[in-house]
Amino acid sequence: MVKRHRGPMSKSEKFYIDQNQSKLDIETLANDLNRTVLQVRKYLDKRHEDAQNESIKKKNKESHMQQLMDRDKDKGTTVMTSAASELSDETRQKPAPYGKYQSAIHQIKPK
């Protein structure tokens, strides 16, 4: 009897499961990775839960933003309110201020 791997899955094992879960059954995935069926099933269940939670969070964020917009359905117009603008600014990812030229910039008076 072959001793199965224990402990957390490596990135390569997770990648293998993600890429082959639609092609292979759980038993085959577990045997290929020398893991138990329970470990593979737990990983797949966790990935499924994470995907559902992420989609729910995204829907909630979008619906909250839509509630902050001022709409006139008769005229077909939408106006962004100040609250919607502030929320948009808060959730937007901010780019790095200087990028790859950070080392070439010298500040005379640091902030």
The mean pLDDT value of the chain amounts to 81
Helical pair 11-20 and 26-33, crossing angle rounded to 10 deg:
150
pLDDT at 69 over 90: no
Kindly list the domain boundaries of the chain, sorted by start residue.
11-90
CA distance 29 to 37: 8
Average pLDDT over residues 79-83: 80
CA distance 97 to 111: 14
- Structure tokens belonging to residue 108: 């005379």
CA distance 21 to 40: 10
Q: What tens digit of pLDDT does each residue of 35-45 get?
A: 999 999 999 99
- Structure tokens belonging to residue 2: 């072959």
Q: Output the CA torsion sign for 33, 39, 45, 51.
A: negative
pLDDT of residue 41: 93
- Structure tokens belonging to residue 91: 């959730």
In this prediction the pTM is 0.49
